[in-house]
Chains A and B, each alone.
Chain A
Amino acid sequence: MVKELVGLNFKQEVIDADTTTVVDFWAPWCGPCRMLGPVIDELSQEIGDKANFFKINVDENNDIAQKYRISSIPCVIVFKGGQIVDTMVGFRPKQDMQNIISKHL
């Protein structure tokens, strides 16, 4: 399941997490984000407990978007042990996303 994340619990859910964490930076006005949404949903189902999936609305969480220098969305960042291990900018085919995330499980 992909959970909505807000600024307040970012540290706890992403930085301090024990598992690999996938964060989808999106906004409602972004077309490719709307396309990527269902792809991420499917991946979170398939990958199950091995990773946590979150989405974060950049309009409502500007400080976090700034901190991670998000200049184009969709942007999916994979965190492990509080560190960024991969960044994917723009829409990616499901296959690609799967391959990249799998590397970090």
Chain B
Amino acid sequence: MTQRYDIAIVGSGPAALEAAINAKIRNKNIIIFGNKDFSGKLIKAPKINNYLGFYDIKGTELKNHFEEHIKNMGIQITEERIDSIYAMGEYFALMANQKQYEAKTIILAVGMEYGKQLKGEEGFLGRGVGYCATCDAPLYKGKSVTIIGYNKEAEEEANYVSELAAELHYIPMYKGEYDLNDKIQVINDKPIEIKGDEKVKKVIMENDSIDTDGVFILKDSIPPGQLVPGLEMEDEHIKVNKNMVTNIKGCFAAGDCTGKPYQYMKAAGEGQVAALSAVEYLSEI
């Protein structure tokens, strides 16, 4: 059987790390997902003057302090990107590539890095708009599909979908060589809006438009509402109360993903509150 953690922390920025150390102090069995750099925003900061205790410090230096801190507490980052999280009732199932992790509670500390949505994107979600082409491809057998790809990995999905769809349009949102099969029609134009009636009908671009039955939007990072189906958002942020509790039982959130101001201290403070709320919740279930 898979191990069921007390707390799974998604993200590795200041909010996540602060949550991790507090959960560890309270003796919880935790797992934290993220990357070696902790946060792209941390290592990019040229100079930080508003982090109490550190005056005039570079982002990379602060990162080293964070690293030292978690190392001393025996916390290790699991370098894995979580693709989706399912609230199963008693527990959460976290999916990373083909792997599955389980935890009784989760803390979302994913930052804010997901670009703007297209006009119509949200409204047609599930009615022709999707975020996982390989998941829904068989439903588009013999139909016309458009993929808006933000990275190289999207090409692989496009190749797969093209075997099922009658026609496939690929709109690359990056420059480079495209490794796509001949059936796929590459369109170099900027998508602006998704249109239709009760279902998707068209993608409107700057210079042209395409008739299509389905649109898949494939990006690097996933908006929290898609990462955790059923999670309540408030504009582009996760809705939390002052205890960092979301609308889903056992799911907490902290840092930039919960709203402004986007600052290290706020992120860390929220991470701490989220961890303590998770600990309290664990003692009640």
Contacts and interface: CB of A to CB of B under 8 A. Distances in A.
Interface residues of B, number: 25
B126 A72 contact: yes
Interface in B221-276: 229-230, 248-249
A59 B230 contact: no
A42 B135 CA distance: 24
Interface residues of A, number: 27
Nearest to A70: B139
Given A72-B126, A90-B229, A38 B139 contact: no
A24 to B, nearest CB: 15
Interface stretch (B38-46, B80-88, B107-115): B80-88
Interface string A33-70: 00110110010000000000000001100000100011
Given A65-B139, A70-B139, A72-B126, A39 B230 contact: no
Given A72-B126, A95-B248, 19 more contacts: A29-B135, A31-B135, A32-B84, A39-B88, A69-B198, A70-B139, A71-B126, A71-B136, A71-B214, A72-B127, A72-B139, A73-B136, A73-B139, A90-B126, A90-B229, A92-B230, A93-B248, A95-B87, A96-B230
Interface of B: 84, 86-89, 93, 95, 125-128, 130, 135-136, 138-139, 198-200, 213-214, 229-230, 248-249
